[in-house]
């Protein structure tokens, strides 16, 4: 029996439908949520990501301002730019696209963003609010995972959840969000003993280790919900043959292109799990969606209106 496939695009469209209603309501009050995207230099991948975020703003009726300083910018110059954005009232969210040039102190830049406008959810104040269970802005990928779980009808309360990975961007906030939703949470990492048996106890598995196909099918409890956060580009033919031995069409596509994108979970885990996210097309589409949610949420929080958003995730992401 194959798992139910949890398609990120479908859940993203549900969230966007809710957001359009929230944005329309705010516009009636004369409020247009605004996002400033700072793109330093000419990194092609970063340009693509920022263009996608600006396009999402346009689609949903948000204001966006794309700012493109040269890659010769200094830390002090970028700090001054962030300070200006902190003062602009029409800007509710500030996104500084990473990576930054080597001469720039990324930590100083991210910590300079006003926590009220920290739509990436990376600021220590944002993290502290998450720990305390207070209203605030949550890192986009973990918040997106929670929407997949909620909107797919996954039972979180009382579930045994295993989070594989302890990064500040995914693993740690993911564990906190699950805990706040009353799951019993175990965080695993490279030093975890007998990792397969720890994972086998999980009703919910969140894989975010950054290792292609690491989670084997026999690690998965039959019927478990598996959320694969991994995005790994592979070019190794031997690895591809191992991962797609039971999927000749995918293997053929790999051979045609010479590369493919896989998650941290072996594709054959879909034969054991009850529900699973695909890679690509699972968690990825939710990341930009949650950035949009955070921008709308920031607009409300800055005006004391957080409780006035009953429809969408912006009212419930903590």
C-beta separation of 273 from 224 below 8 A: yes
If you classify domain 28-120 with CATH, what class do you get?
alpha beta
Q: Reply yes or no on domain 140-284 having CATH 3.40.228.10.
A: no
What is the Rg, in whole angstroms, of the alpha carbon atoms belonging to the chain? 20
Domain ranges for the chain, please list them.
28-120, 140-284
Q: At what angle are helices 171-180 and 140-151 packed, to 10 degrees?
A: 40
Paired tokens of 283: 């968690």
Distances (CA, A) of 150 to 85, 154, 164, 194: 34, 6, 20, 30
Strands (E) located in 144-216: 160-164, 184-188, 204-207
Sign of CA dihedral 164, 168, 174, 176: positive
Q: Count H helices, E strands: the chain?
A: 11, 11
Task: For residue 120, indicate whether it is catalytic.
Answer: yes
Q: At what angle are helices 171-180 and 124-132 packed, to 10 degrees?
A: 30
Of 18, 22, 97, 114, which one is the catalytic site residue?
A: 97
Of 92, 118, 120, 228, which one is the catalytic site residue?
A: 120
Of 18, 53, 172, 228, which one is the catalytic site residue?
A: 53
CA dihedral 261, 266, 270, 273 (to 10 degrees): -130
How many Å from the N-terminal Cα to the C-terminal Cα in the chain?
34
Is 140-284 in the same CATH topology as 28-120?
Answer: yes
Paired tokens of 87: 């003062």
Grouping H, G, I as helix, E, B as strand and the rest as coil, residue 194 is coil
Grouping H, G, I as helix, E, B as strand and the rest as coil, residue 205 is strand
pLDDT of residue 310: 38
Per-residue pLDDT 10s for the chain (318 aa) are: 689 999 999 999 999 999 999 999 999 999 999 999 999 998 898 999 999 999 999 999 999 999 999 999 999 999 999 999 999 999 999 999 999 999 999 999 999 999 999 999 999 999 999 999 998 999 999 999 999 999 999 999 999 999 999 999 999 999 999 999 999 999 999 999 999 999 999 999 999 999 999 999 999 999 999 999 999 999 999 999 999 999 999 999 999 999 999 999 999 999 999 999 999 999 999 999 999 999 999 999 998 875 344 344 444 444
C-beta separation of 251 from 199 below 8 A: no
**Burial track 7-30 (b if 16+ CB lie within 10 A, e otherwise):** bbeebbeebbebbeebbebbeeee
- Return d(Cα 13, Cα 217) in angstroms, integer: 30
């Amino acid at each position: 029996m194959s798992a139910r496939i949890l398609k990120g695009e479908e859940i993203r469209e549900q969230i966007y439908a809710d957001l359009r209603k929230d944005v329309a309501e705010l516009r009636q009050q004369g409020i247009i949520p605004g996002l400033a995207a700072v793109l330093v230099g000419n990194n092609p991948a970063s340009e693509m990501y920022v263009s996608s975020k600006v396009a999402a703003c346009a689609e949903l009726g948000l204001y966006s301002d794309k700012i493109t300083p040269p890659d010769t910018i200094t830390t002090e110059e970028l700090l001054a730019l962030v300070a200006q954005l902190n003062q602009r009232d029409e800007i509710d969210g500030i996104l500084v696209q990473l990576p930054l040039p080597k001469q720039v102190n990324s930590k100083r830049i991210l910590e300079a963003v006003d926590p009220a406008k920290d739509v990436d959810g990376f600021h220590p104040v944002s993290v502290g609010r998450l720990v305390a269970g207070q209203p605030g802005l949550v890192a986009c990928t973990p918040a997106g995972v929670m929407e997949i779980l909620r909107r797919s009808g996954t039972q979180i309360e009382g579930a045994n959840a295993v989070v594989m990975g302890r990064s500040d961007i995914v693993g740690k906030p993911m564990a906190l969000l699950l805990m706040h939703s009353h799951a019993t949470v175990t965080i695993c990492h490279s030093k975890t003993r007998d990792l397969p048996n720890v994972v086998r106890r999980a009703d919910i598995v969140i894989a975010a280790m950054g290792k292609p196909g690491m989670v084997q099918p026999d690690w998965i409890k039959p019927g478990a919900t598996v959320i694969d956060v991994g995005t790994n580009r592979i070019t190794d033919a031997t690895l591809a043959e191992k991962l797609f031995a039971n999927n000749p069409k995918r293997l053929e596509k790999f051979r045609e292109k010479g590369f493919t994108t896989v998650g941290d979970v072996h594709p054959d885990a879909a034969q054991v799990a009850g529900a699973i996210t695909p890679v690509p097309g699972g968690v990825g589409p939710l990341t930009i969606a949650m950035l949009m949610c955070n921008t709308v949420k920031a607009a409300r929080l800055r005006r004391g209106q957080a409780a006035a958003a009953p429809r969408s995730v912006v009212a419930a992401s903590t």
